[in-house]
Structure 1
Amino acid sequence: MTILSPRDAARIDHYAAIADTDGWLHPVQQALIHHRGWLRMLAPRAVGGEERPLPDVVRLEEAIARVDGSVGWTVTLCAGAGWFAGFLPPHLARAILSTPRACLAGSGAPTGHADRDGDGWRIEGEWDYASGAPMATHFTFNAYLRADGHPLLDAAGQPRIQAFVVPREIVEIVPRWRSIGLRATASHAYRIRGAWIHADHGFVIDPDAAREQGPLYRFPFLPFAFVTLAANVAGMAYHFVDLARACIARRRNRFGGQNELLIEVPAVRAVLDGASSRLDDVRGRFYALLDATWADVVAGAPVADGQAAQMQALAQEWVAASRHAVDTLYPYCGLVAASADSAVNRVWRDFHTASQHALLLPQN
């Protein structure tokens, strides 16, 4: 089965530069995302989602990011928020997914409070970086829980944090996304000022708390986040390598005495081939582990701590290989790579924005 059709890839690519300039996905890109059901692909089938196998989703997200980072990132973050439907009460999940052009956006940082108020919560807070905010019909966030003005504590005596999902109507978008890259994700901030929501809108992201029993909802959150984010960053890196190869194939080595093309210089060719080989090597091991772990989960086994740690390590290794490839090849691309209007510069900017995600910090 084709992961991303050439026609869909061409549509995404055709509008990438326009979307980058405009600071939001082009309507054609948005329509394609909804038409293909990409924002529902991780939501439970029982409540209106598609519940696709995780390895298929990760490969698709990588393929989209290899065409355009902003579309790939928006699909990944919003589809990931759609995954939360497996942890919601079914009636609420079904209502959310029945919304026309349903899209969930949000943030994981606990930068708000939820005060107990009757059979619900009163929400106050502001959150950053909601990729896809302009098309979101619902927002998710984490908040500290309080009662009578005092923090609620967990069994270890720490302040309790809970995830919530709310309709767009009670959210105010704060348009302050000014990043150098991923401009078309429109990852704006958002705030809620004293709105009341029913307790049903709170949920816990844990396999033991899942409302749906499919393998997607038995997959722990951190490995899920690492594999989806790493695949995006690697997709952008592959795109950069492709564009860098084209730049190197056109540039001449003015100081080599023969005025030959840079790609004909053995040392340059070795750098290019080495960066590509390193990416491919980690990619092969990454998907081999993801496929094997997914097969175990489908068979009913939990994700062991060792498997989760290995997936995190491989995800970070793939990101490290991606950073190495992009930063090593950039100097060979010439001034076109520094031109804000060039595709290679846009991909460079997107890559260096996406790889700043907190989960992807270098570990050594």
Structure 2
Amino acid sequence: MAQHFHAAGSGVFGERDSRRIVELAPAADNAGFITPVQRALIHRRGWLKMLAPRSAGGAELPLPAVVRLEEEIAAIDGSMGWIVTLCAGAGWFAGFMAPSVARDIIKTRRVCVAGSGAPTDYADVDGAGFRINGRWDYASGAPMATHFTLNAVVREHGQVVLDDAGAALIRAFIVPAKNVVVTPSWDSIGLRASASHSYRIDDAWIGAEHGFVIDPVQATSSGPLYRFPFMSLAFVTLSVNLAGMARHFLRLAEPAIARRRHPSTGLPLVDMPAVAARLRRASDELDAARSHFYRLLDGAWEQLAGGALIGDGVAAALRAASLELVRVARLAVDDLYPYCGLYAAHAQSEINRVWRDFHTATQHTLLLP
């Protein structure tokens, strides 16, 4: 079946898609995973292949288009945005894999690559490959994954292999889901439907070609996407999820506040000058942070597409803009939540789900202030 990649521009995807995600989000939150209809939509739109190389069957879309799409999905449902962002990001790794391996993975029916970045266990050199054992945490989208990526400490003859700097050698690997046991462990207050479970691999042998190094110098695809620094990619894609969820919260906060009256004056809270000013300030500051962020991202991409590399200065500016976007989003949500009333504390209300998703996402290590 032909796939259609929907990305940038106003109206990032159709009203029908938006409506369907909105309708299904409460059920997904209650069930602890996105629904079959949501999963079908993700695959039909090709969102999990949008960062994978064209040579492997992916879309290889410009990064600014992908980032805008991820923000728009998160602005409708945090869990779905988180899954698309993390799993599409893992698909980007195909640009660093052996081309034959990348093609085999990306052409998999309903391919979904989940994974974890922390090198919590081991890969032992075994002949022409590695034998992997261990447990890894927080693999968003784990129940739908066809493949899992992981970082592992390399050992040989039982001894940790050291890199050129004398530190433990860590390699990235991709493993078919048939070699993986998903361990239900995700019991967070928010992003429930992301199903970011742990997974275990018991004595699985994989060929050396299933290892890869995420470094522009070692990219196997020549497009500008694979010259974009990994940490910069992580910062920009994660931060826009927070921006999207904050925008969602602000949309819901105003009507929630409008339902309440000041206990002394009896006036609607939303008409109180101080509260109205808080609403305006939250919206204006978030818009300003987003505009600055996208100006930097678009400029970095233009530079990269023109053949230049992203230097340390640009990478540092992208990180700073990403963290500032997260900081402003935090302030906006936390400043307005107390005015939203008990309705916002009700577990089944939409605004409560957005609040829970937002604060769960802020706990990602890279997003620490």
- TM-score class, shorter-chain normalisation, is over 0.9
**Aligned partner (choices 308, 312, 334) of residue 327 of structure 1:** 334
- The RMSD of aligned alpha carbons is 0.7
Paired residue for 1:298, among 305, 312, 323? 305
Q: Which residue of 2 aligns with 1:271?
A: 278
CA distance in 2, matches of 1:138, 1:245: 42
The aligned counterpart of 1:81 is 90
Letter aligned with residue 316 of structure 2: A
The residue type equivalent to 1:204 in the other structure is V
Deviation by residue 1:102-146 (Cα, 9 ceiling, x = unmatched): 000000000110000000000011000000000000000000001
Determine the C-alpha separation between the residues in 2 that align with 1:216 and 1:6.
Answer: 29
Measure the CA separation in 2 of the matches of 1:222 and 1:4: 27
Find the partner of 1:203 among 200, 206, 212: 212
Q: Which residue of 1 aligns with 2:138?
A: 129
Equivalent residue in structure 2 for 1:56, among 49, 62, 65: 65
Tell me how far apart the structure 2 counterparts of residues 255 and 198 of structure 1 sit (CA, whole Å): 71
Q: Separation in 1 of the partners of 2:311 and 2:108?
A: 36
Q: Report what 1:27 is aligned to.
A: 36
- The structural deviation recorded for 1:252 is 1.6
Which residue identity does 2:84 align to in structure 1? V
Q: How far apart, CA to CA, are the structure 1 residues paired with 2:303 and 2:53?
A: 19
* 2:145 aligned with 1:173: no
In the alignment, which of 166, 183, 190 is matched to residue 157 of structure 1? Answer: 166
Q: Alignment partner of 1:105: what SS?
A: strand
- Residue deviations 1:233-273, cap 9 Å, x none? 110011011111111122222222xx221111000000111
Q: Distance in 1 between matches of 2:254 and 2:71?
A: 20
Query: Which of 360, 364, 367 is equivalent to 1:353?
Result: 360
Distance 2:313 2:14 in 1: 36
Q: In structure 1, the residue corresponding to 2:70 is in which secondary structure? A: helix
Instruction: Identify the match of residue 196 of structure 2 among 187, 204, 219.
Output: 187
Deviations 1:59-79 (A, max 9, x none): 000000000000000000000
Unaligned runs of 5+ in 1: none
Report the equivalent of 1:17. 26
CA separation in 2, counterparts of 1:338 and 1:248?
Answer: 13
What CA deviation, in whole Å up to 9, does each residue of 1:178-226 have, x standing for no partner?
A: 0000000000000101110000000000100100010100000000000
Task: Provide, for residues 275-322 of structure 1, a one-character-per-residue CA deviation record: whole Å limited to 9, x for no partner.
Answer: 111101110000000000000000000001000000000100000001
Task: Tell me the residue number matched to 1:284.
Answer: 291
For structure 2, the residue ranges without an aligned partner over 5 or more in a row are 1-8
Counterpart CA distance in 2 for 1:209 and 1:245 is: 49
Deviations 1:51-106 (A, max 9, x none): 00000000000000000000000000000000000000110010011111000000
Residues 1:144 and 2:153 are matched in the alignment = yes
State the match for 1:66 in structure 2. Answer: 75
Structure 1 runs of 4+ aligned residues shifted over 4 Å read none
Q: Quote the residue 1:212 is aligned against.
A: 221
The normalised TM-score by structure 1 is: 0.98
Aligned length: 360
- Tell me how far apart the structure 1 counterparts of residues 204 and 56 of structure 2 sit (CA, whole Å): 26
Q: Please name the residue that 1:112 is paired with.
A: 121
SS in 1 for 2:75: helix
- Please identify, of 290-299 and 5-14, the stretch whose mean Cα deviation from structure 2 is larger: 5-14
Instruction: Name the residue aligned to 2:6.
Output: none
> Could you give the per-residue CA deviations for residues 14-64 of structure 1, whole angstroms, max 9, x where no partner exists?
100000000000111111000000000000011100000000000000000
Does residue 339 (structure 1) correspond to residue 349 (structure 2)? The answer is no
State the AA in 2 paired with 1:263.
V
**SS of alignment partner, residue 191 of structure 1:** strand
The CA deviation at 1:4 is 2.2
Q: Distance in 2 between matches of 1:3 and 1:56?
A: 9
> Given residue 339 of structure 2, which amino acid in structure 1 is its aligned partner?
Y
Q: Secondary structure at the match of 1:164?
A: strand
- Matches of 2:309 and 2:255 in 1, distance apart? 45
Is 1:38 aligned with 2:47? Answer: yes
